[in-house]
Chain A
Amino acid sequence: MSTDLSKTPDTTTGTTTEASISGAEIVLDEVVKQYPGQKVPAVQSLSLTIPAGEIVMFIGPSGCGKTTSLKMINRLIEPTSGTIRIGGDDVAKQSDNELRRQIGYVIQGGSLFPHMTVAKNIAIVPKMLGWKRQRIDERIDELLDLVSLDPGKYRDRYPRELSGGQQQRVGVARGLAADPPVILMDEPFGAVDPITRQRLQDELLSIQRELRKTIVCVTHDIDEAVKLGDRILILQEGAKIAQYDSPEVVLGAPANEFVEDFVGSGSSLKQLSLTRVRDVDLIHPTTATVGESVAEVKRRAEANGDTSVIILDQRGRPRGWPWLRQLKGDTVVEPTEDLVDVDLASTLNDALDTMLSSSHGGAIVTGDRDQYVGVVNFDAVTDHIRAIEEKARD
Chain B
Amino acid sequence: MWDFIVERRDDIIFNTYQHASLVAQAVLLATVIAVLLAVVVVRVPALAGVANVVSAIGLTLPAFALIGLLLPLTSIGVVTGFVAVTFYAILPILRNAVVGLQQVDETLLESARGMGMGQLASLWRVRIPLAWPVILAGIRTSTQMSMGIAAIAAYVKGPGLGDYIFAGLVRIGGANAVNYAVVGTVGIILVALVADALLLLLGRASISKGIRAA
State the A residues within 8 Å of B (CB): 74, 76, 96-102, 105, 107-108, 111, 113-117, 124-125, 128, 158-160, 174, 184
Contacts and interface: CB of A to CB of B under 8 A. Distances in A.
Interface centre among B108, B116, B208 (most CB of A within 10 A): B116
Interface in B125-142: 126, 129-130
A99 B110 CA distance: 15
B60 interface: no
A175 to B, nearest CB: 9
Contacts of A116: 208, 210
B114 A158 contact: no
B115 A124 contact: yes
Contact of B114 (A76, A114, A115, A160): A76
Given A97-B116, A124-B115, A124-B117, 6 more contacts: A100-B115, A105-B115, A115-B211, A128-B116, A128-B121, A159-B210
B68 interface: no
Contacts of A115: 129-130, 208, 210-211
B114 A117 contact: no
A124 to B, nearest CB: 6
5 contacts: A100-B113, A115-B130, A115-B211, A158-B209, A184-B114
A283 to B, nearest CB: 45
A394 B173 CA distance: 113
A5 B118 CA distance: 36
A105 B114 contact: yes
Nearest to A184: B114
Nearest to A96: B116
B74 to A, nearest CB: 40
A158 B108 CA distance: 15
B117 A128 contact: yes
B25 interface: no
Contacts of B107: 107-108, 111
B21 interface: no
B111 interface: yes
A98 B115 CA distance: 9
Contacts of A99: 116
A114 B118 contact: no
Contacts of B116: 96-102, 125, 128
B196 to A, nearest CB: 24
Nearest to B133: A115
A74 B113 CA distance: 10
Given A97-B117, A99-B116, A128-B116, A111 B210 contact: no
Nearest to B114: A105
A117 B210 contact: yes
Contact of B111 (A96, A102, A111, A117): A111
B121 to A, nearest CB: 8
Nearest to A76: B114
Contacts of A124: 115, 117
B138 to A, nearest CB: 18
A343 B196 CA distance: 57
A160 B212 CA distance: 11
Contacts of B113: 76, 100
B210 A160 contact: yes
Interface string B87-127: 00000000000000000000110111111111001000010
A388 B156 CA distance: 93
Contacts of A96: 116
A385 B211 CA distance: 50
Given A116-B210, A158-B210, A111 B117 contact: no
A376 B209 CA distance: 45
A74 B114 contact: yes
A107 B117 contact: no
Nearest to A100: B116
Contact of A105 (B111, B126, B129): B111
Contacts of A97: 116-118
Nearest to B105: A111
A99 B115 CA distance: 9
Q: Which 8 A-B pairs rank lowest in CB-CB distance, beginning with the nearest?
A: A158-B210, A100-B116, A115-B208, A101-B116, A105-B114, A111-B111, A97-B116, A115-B210
Nearest to B132: A115
B163 to A, nearest CB: 43
A174 B126 CA distance: 16
A100 B114 contact: yes
Nearest to A104: B115
A111 B208 contact: no
Contacts of B111: 105, 107, 111
A255 B5 CA distance: 94
A111 B115 CA distance: 12
Contacts of B112: 113
B208 A158 contact: yes
B53 to A, nearest CB: 29
Given A114-B211, A115-B208, A116-B210, A76 B115 contact: no
B210 to A, nearest CB: 3
Interface centre among A98, A124, A159 (most CB of B within 10 A): A124
Contact of A125 (B108, B115, B118, B210): B115
Contacts of A100: 113-116
Nearest to A128: B116
Contacts of A160: 210-211
Contacts of A125: 115-116
Nearest to B130: A115
